Amino acid sequence: MPFCFGHYFKPNHFYMRQTCGGCRVPVTRDMVLNDLSGDIAINRKNDTGMKNHTLEYCPGCGHKTFLPNSDKSYRCSACGFLLYRNAVAAVAAIIECQHKILLTIRANDPDAGKLDLPGGFVDNGETAEAAMERELAEEIGFRPPSLTYFGSYPNTYPYAGVVYKTLDLIFTCPLEALPDLQPDDDVSDLVWVSTRAIPFERIAFDSLRKALADYSVHHRCNPAGTIAR
């Protein structure tokens, strides 16, 4: 493995790339995914069998003249009505305690039974921070003492015949003592995994694999557990 646990890693050009100050070995997010999880393809094809839903009837005039205008919009050729389908905001938390990260087991599709981070979609009129606190309360009965923004990751979320484009906002929450948690809502169970043995191949979404890989790189570069941005 290309990780130098005994050396000092420092940022090199981008936050997802680090270079060992001792032997100059570069460490990237892709190295983490490849080495720890058997060469995972992080941009794998959608294996749910679902296709992008195509709108046909115009919400403005009702005619079957609604056509794709771009990769994120539709336009009616009859009345000119224009509809945008922009990315949907979602949140997830990396909760670490005693060198372990909390993962949830998904109770529902998509990817029921796979591993996930606690989180969910942001409601209308809600801040990302409020959404994160709400989702943690709903899914695991937890009120975080603090949340620190880590980064954003694009994702694809297929549900009920529609493929949604999302932007997943990731927060971190370091803890000193293991909390008393209870799975609920969309979560069937909870597991704690070592920060050095994250099962990337069992995690449901590409965005979360990338986020955890970035976090793993930072964890190796900062043995005390602090996050360097």
CA angle 156, 158, 163 (to 5 degrees): 75
* Alpha carbons within 13 A on the beta-carbon side of 78: 11
Does residue 103 surpass a pLDDT of 70? yes
Angstrom distances, CA of residue 58 to CA of 62, 110, 205:
5, 28, 32
> Which pair of tokens denotes residue 141?
């009965």
How far separated are the first and last CA of the chain, in Å rounded?
Answer: 24
Angstrom distances, CA of residue 182 to CA of 90, 115, 175:
22, 16, 17
CATH fit for domain 88-216, picks 3.90.1150.10, 3.90.79.10, 3.20.10.10, 3.40.50.2300:
3.90.79.10
CA distance 45 to 10: 33
DSSP assignments along 128-140, one per residue: HHHHHHHHHHHHH
Question: What's the pLDDT score for residue 163?
Answer: 87
> Which pair of tokens denotes residue 128?
């990302």
Averaged confidence pLDDT in the chain? 80
Q: What is the pLDDT of residues 166-215, one digit of tens each?
A: 999 999 999 999 999 999 989 999 999 999 899 999 999 999 999 999 99
Question: What's the pLDDT score for residue 126?
Answer: 98
Q: What is the pLDDT of residues 38-93, one digit of tens each?
A: 333 333 333 333 345 567 899 899 999 999 999 889 999 999 999 998 999 999 99
Question: What's the pLDDT score for residue 218?
Answer: 80
Question: What's the pLDDT score for residue 49?
Answer: 37
Place of tokens 């995994």: 193
Q: What does residue 200 show for φ and ψ, rounded to 5 degrees?
A: -55, -35
> Which pair of tokens denotes residue 154?
């694009």
Q: Answer yes or no: are the C-beta atoms of 121 and 109 closer than 8 Å.
A: no
Place of tokens 């990237």: 28
Question: What's the pLDDT score for residue 1?
Answer: 36
Q: What is the pLDDT of residues 3-37, one digit of tens each?
A: 333 333 334 333 334 444 444 445 555 555 554 44
Q: Answer yes or no: are the C-beta atoms of 211 and 151 closer than 8 Å.
A: yes
CA distance 139 to 119: 8
CA distance 110 to 185: 15
pTM for the predicted model, two decimal places: 0.75
Domain residues of the chain, as ranges?
A: 55-85, 88-216
> Which pair of tokens denotes residue 127?
């801040």
Does residue 223 surpass a pLDDT of 60? no
Angstrom distances, CA of residue 94 to CA of 7, 101, 134, 139:
25, 7, 15, 14
Mean pLDDT of 109-130: 97
Measured in whole angstroms, the distance separating CA 186 from the mean position of its chain's CA atoms is 16
